[in-house]
Amino acid sequence: MALLVSLIDTDIQPWVEVFESELSNMDIRIYPDVGDVSEIEYVAAWQHPFGEYKKYPNLKAILSLGAGVDHIIKDPALPKDVPIVRMADDSLIRDMCLYASHWVLHFHSDYYRYTKLQAKKLWLPQDFVAPKNRSIGIMGFGNIGKSIGDLLTTQGFKVVGWGASEKHTTGGIEYFYGKDQMSAFLNKAEILINVLPLTDATRSLVMERELRQLPKGAFVINMGRGSIINESDLLSVLNSSHISAAVLDVFDVEPLPVDDPLWSHPNVTITPHIAGQSDGNTAAMFMVENIRRIENGEPPFPLYDVTRGY
């Protein structure tokens, strides 16, 4: 029995140390040193090469490093009957909360303006807006979206949420759901945060029409998936000044091509898909616990649901 570890752009050592310590009855292999493919029962994966999964005939589960599983399900040769376990480690959720709160404050407190004023050597304090008078809209209200919303409400912000289906929310967060309620949600989102997963239903969900339903002067923080907010439409609405500025962590094509106009837009800040980075120790333990569940005949959690697309 073997666990294959295939994690790119990641310091793999903390993961391997946990796996070796906690799974002493299992052979830990690091890709591309696969060895006997028939012995591979689990793959801990981030950007594992397409076409590889089908080579492991006794694969019991694929364990994703990230909450998103695009890097797995886009494999055209992916075996259809192998469970895919998403990452829901608390450290990843905490990191996404910190990312969101950082950029909310960047826009809410006019830090983005002060950066430009400093370049011009201008001392111009901006008008103060209390958090209670700033409405933050969060698209995607699962564990990550709700955690971000709860954090922002503790800081006094007014938070509204939107998701595909009806949910019960607490803490004074107003919640909208379905396409019929999207306009009402967008109208209230002075700072829009996208943490939706990419599915057939969410692909190109936010086009120019939706972006123009945001209040004039709104801000956009995209930390979900790049293909949800149409990039060319976002540029168009930025250029019209209806949206003041945007922070983008995810893109249609990653890495973002060097000739993409988003790089040079004066009101766009780019980060290289780093919102929600996993702590190797705790995230590896999350995978270990799911392997133990499977070995004990229990279902892993959270399991990718092909019908919902996440």
For residue 59, which of 77, 70, 71, 67 has the smallest C-alpha distance?
Answer: 77
Is 91 strand, coil or helix? helix
Question: Pick the catalytic residue: 225, 242, 292, 293?
Answer: 225
* Residue 134: active-site member: no
Give φ, ψ of 260 to 5 degrees.
-70, 135
Q: How does DSSP assign 220-243, residue by residue?
A: EEE-S-TTTB-HHHHHHHHHTTSE
Question: Pick the catalytic residue: 48, 108, 134, 273?
Answer: 273
Q: Report how far residue 105's alpha carbon sits from residue 98's, in angstroms, rounded to the nearest whole number.
A: 11
- Contacts of residue 196, Cβ cutoff 8 Å, sequence gap at least 6: 139, 140, 202, 205, 224, 225, 228
Q: Report how far residue 100's alpha carbon sits from residue 117's, in angstroms, rounded to the nearest whole number.
A: 24
**Distance of alpha carbon 246 from the chain centroid:** 16
* Residue 225: active-site member: yes
Active-site residues, by number, are 225, 273
